[in-house]
Amino acid sequence: MYKKLLKNTDYIILITVLILFVIGVIGIYTAGYNTDVNKDEYIKQIIWFSAVFVIMIVIWAVDYNFFGIVGYILYAVNLILLVAVLFMPSLMGANSWFNLGGMLYQPSELMKIGYIISLSKFLTVFKNDLANGSIKKKILILGLLFLLLSLPVILILLQPDFGTAVAFLFIAAFILFKMGLKYRYIFGCALILVILIPVIFLFLLNPTQQERIKVFLDPELDPLGSGYNAIQSKIAVGSGMLFGTGLLQGAQTQYGYLPIKSTDFIFSVLSEELGFFMSVFIIILYVVLILRIIRVSKNAPDEFSSCIAIGVCGMLFFHFVQNIGMTIGLLPITGVPLPFLSYGGSSLITNGIAIGMVLNISARKNKNMIFG
């Protein structure tokens, strides 16, 4: 049985993730080279990934139908934690983390896994009822679906963490589209969102986030304050030119002009020191990863596993586009990490679990290979 699973596993996904991780470690190393605080982050990242790799193997080996039970548990536990974290001390302007003896845990990260699985399971279980059930039953199911979709998003907005909340919306959109949501509903929701932008800006975003939007539109409004990060990031990316300034030679990175180097702006670090070609190579790796996950979703043995794969795709797609977009000035700065490149245990564990599930599904594309 395991020989067949090994044969069918999509190794291009695994190899792409490993390459991204290695590039990330290089970036984290050079980002912390001239600092005392972050000098050993690359070692911690390697330790984290070693543990994550073992988790990925375990997830690859089990029957993916087991995910349905685990998903609801993860959803329920992290929903409680998302309420509790609102009462924790603020860090970087948001109540998003638990401080566990020096180690930070962000419940919104593992909630992404619970969200993907729970939403996939719910939609596949109640698909026929939504299509053919009575009006009363449809209303009940749609009400439950709305709660399932909205509760984590609302709690994350209250932290406030707008970037992560949008990631959940992307996950939901990808899964709902996979389940047959019509284009007119997508465009309708997009239109409603556009109409609600002034309300979101005035009442849901805190002053810091409002300032980020204003600065995104015109960074020169506050070049030494709110616009500083965006300006320094673009300088770092541009100064790398074709081949980069050289490892450990980037002025923005090594002299401390570039902020939050190992997490939010890791792409800027790599672009400055390794150049345009490395930037393009990273983007190609993400495109390959996303396309392969879409392929896994298309060849999945059933709708449940297909939805899981496409949900993971939506999550990674948003993080990839948002992070790189904000570092080059195309999107507002939200603090969203770059999968497998940015430093961070919570993010690495979440993305590792997600890839483990996709590898699991890719290995079982033949229905007869699902464990009983």
The answer to whether 236 touches 202, Cβ cutoff 8 Å, is no
Check whether 314 has a pLDDT greater than 90.
Answer: yes
- Is the pLDDT at 269 greater than 90, yes or no? yes
The yes-or-no verdict on residue 281 having pLDDT over 90 is yes
Average pLDDT over residues 46-64: 92
Residue 223: band (very low, low, confident or very high) from pLDDT cuts 50, 70, 90: low
Average pLDDT of the chain to the nearest whole number = 86
- Total Cβ atoms within 10 A of residue 140: 14
C-alpha 6/C-alpha 122 separation (Å) is 30
Over residues 65-85, the mean pLDDT reads: 91
Rounded Cα–Cα distance for residues 126 and 128 (Å): 6
State mean pLDDT over 178-201: 69
Q: Is 162:93 a contact under the CB 8 Å cutoff?
A: no
Per-residue pLDDT at 370: 42
**pLDDT higher than threshold 70 for residue 18:** yes
Break the chain into its structural domains and give their ranges: 2-366
Cα-flanking dihedrals φ and ψ of residue 344, to 5°?
Answer: 150, 125
Residue 48's pLDDT band, with cuts at 50, 70 and 90, is very high
What pLDDT is attached to residue 305? 93
- DSSP per-residue letters across 175-190: HHHHTT--HHHHHHHH
Q: Each residue of 228-241: pLDDT tens digit?
A: 788 888 899 988 89
Residue with tokens 């039970």: 69
- Selected residue with higher pLDDT from 218 and 320: 320
260: region left, alpha or beta (phi > 0 left; psi from -120 to 50 alpha):
left
Q: What is the pLDDT of residues 80-107, one digit of tens each?
A: 999 999 988 887 677 888 887 777 788 9
Report the pLDDT averaged over residues 227-255.
87
296 vs 290: CA distance, rounded Å = 10
What percentage of the chain carries pLDDT values higher than 70?
86
Q: Is the pLDDT of residue 371 over 70?
A: no
% of the chain beyond a pLDDT of 90: 46
- Residue 217 pLDDT: 63
Asked whether residue 340 carries a pLDDT value surpassing 90, the answer given is yes
Q: CA of 207: how far to CAs of 26, 110, 137, 156, in Å?
A: 35, 28, 42, 17
Please compute the mean of the pLDDT values over residues 285-297 and round it to a whole number.
Answer: 96
| Measured distance CA(241)–CA(29) in Å, rounded | 21
Please report which confidence band the pLDDT of residue 368 belongs to, taking 50, 70 and 90 as the band edges.
very low
Residue 116, pLDDT > 50, answer yes
Judge contact between 239 and 254, C-beta under 8 A.
no
Q: Is the pLDDT of residue 338 over 90?
A: yes
